[in-house]
Amino acid sequence: MASPERCFETAVDFEEYPRWARDIKQARILARDREGRAVDVQYRVTAMGRSTTYTLRYFYGADPLRLAWRLQQGDATSRLDGEYSFTAVGDDPAATEVSYQLAVELAVPLPGFLKRRAESRIMHTALDELKAYIEACGV
């Protein structure tokens, strides 16, 4: 368990993604905003025997615990847009509800079962591996 703030801090620490997201081999910040937050991040990912590279643009809204992104460039995806939001659960400062949304379109059509397997793997990384990493850090 961790606070919403700690979860958000982990989600925006893009260069650390390879430590907890097993398919991400490299995350490189290409551009930052005036506040020093990463805006454009390039990823190199290996999954299901394939390697791919894509760049996401991140958006920080009025809600300080929400993070949205849109695909800027990708060699295997034509859409990879999503959002995390972290909300406190009740009065427990160390309990967080994580909402995750993702819209994916691949540049190459895949059979349905392969697409579902890829979607499942992305969700596992985004939620389960993030949770395990945060809990292992003990913060």
Q: State how many domains the chain has.
A: 1
Domain encompassing residue 92: 4-137
* Cβ-based burial of 42 (10 A; exposed 0-12, middle 13-18, buried ≥19): middle
Taking a C-beta distance cutoff of 8 angstroms, is the pair 74, 67 a contact? no
Distance CA 104, CA 125 (A): 15
pLDDT tens for each residue of 83-136: 999 999 988 888 899 999 998 887 777 677 676 777 777 776 778 888 888 888
Return the CATH number at 124: 3.30.530.20
Bigger pLDDT: 114 vs 65:
65
Q: What is the pTM of this model?
A: 0.86
Taking a C-beta distance cutoff of 8 angstroms, is the pair 44, 51 a contact? yes
